[in-house]
């Protein structure tokens, strides 16, 4: 396992539509473990393979619902290959986002309040995930990376944050 280098805009890999994951071999499992380690080191709550220079439809998310109130709250790890939206709520919510690949900026982005996602787990088995609130926002942000979309493309407003804002917004 290794920490991978996070790529920053304007690296072209961030603007490409990523390729489907078709094999779940040792190389894929190593990439997953490296992405988890890189995410934790960054630190962030989500990471897509294009952010480490790999054009694959693979995301890792680690988030705990009660994280804001209790840093020791358990976090749940999501590993999803080839994620697709099955359903998105009509209700949209504006929130502040940042990105490990777009340093020193944050922006307000409208996202669906709830999403239902299907994909494959780390072993290539089908999974479904229902997410709402901040977790739904994280999934939408990371899945955008797989299509070459950055949150800055969807943002209503972008600015350089104060120190507290930057920590609160990292998606």
Q: What is the mean pLDDT of residues 31-45?
A: 97
For 151, residues 6+ apart whose C-beta sits below 8 A from its C-beta are 97, 98, 99, 102, 107, 109, 141, 144, 171
Helix (H, G, I), strand (E, B) or coil at 155: coil
The distance in angstroms from the start CA to the end CA of the chain is: 23
Active site residue 163: no
Name the CATH topology of 12-169: Peptide Deformylase (3.90.45)
CA-CA-CA-CA torsion sign (70, 72, 74, 76): positive
How would residue 163 be classed by pLDDT, with cut points 50, 70 and 90?
A: confident
Domain layout of the chain by residue ranges: 12-169
Q: In this predicted structure, what is the pLDDT of residue 1?
A: 78
At 117, is the secondary structure helix, strand, or coil?
Answer: strand
User: Poorest-confidence range of 1-10, 43-52, 66-75?
Assistant: 66-75
CB atoms near residue 105 (< 10 Å): 18
- 59-110 per-position pLDDT tens digit: 999 998 764 555 666 899 999 999 999 999 999 999 999 999 999 999 999 9
The answer to whether 21 and 57 have CB atoms below 8 angstroms apart is yes
Q: Region 142-165: what's the mean pLDDT?
A: 93
Residue 79: what pLDDT?
98
Q: Which of 44-48, 61-65, 126-130 has the lowest mean pLDDT?
A: 61-65
- How far, in whole angstroms, is CA 59 from its chain's centroid? 6
Q: What pLDDT score was predicted for residue 74? A: 82
Q: Which of 94, 97, 113, 142 is catalytic?
A: 142
Query: pTM score > 0.85 for this model?
Result: yes
pLDDT band at 165 (very low <50, low <70, confident <90, very high): low
- Count of CB atoms within 10 A of residue 4's CB? 19
């Amino acid at each position: 396992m290794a920490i991978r280098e996070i790529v920053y805009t304007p690296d072209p890999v961030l603007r490409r539509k990523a390729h489907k994951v078709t094999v779940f071999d040792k190389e894929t499992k190593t990439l997953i473990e490296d992405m988890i380690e890189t995410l934790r080191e960054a630190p962030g709550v989500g990471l897509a393979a294009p952010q480490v220079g790999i054009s694959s439809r693979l995301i890792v998310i680690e988030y705990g619902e009660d994280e804001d109130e209790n840093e020791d709250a358990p976090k749940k790890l999501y590993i999803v290959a080839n994620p697709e939206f099955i359903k998105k709520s009509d209700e949209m919510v504006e929130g502040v986002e940042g990105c490990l690949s777009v340093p020193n900026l944050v922006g307000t982005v409208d996202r669906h309040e709830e999403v239902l996602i299907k994909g494959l787990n780390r072993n290539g088995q089908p999974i479904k995930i229902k997410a709402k609130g901040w977790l739904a926002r994280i999934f939408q942000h990371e899945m955008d990376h797989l299509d070459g979309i950055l949150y800055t493309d969807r943002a209503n407003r972008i600015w350089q944050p104060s120190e507290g804002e930057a920590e609160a917004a990292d998606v």
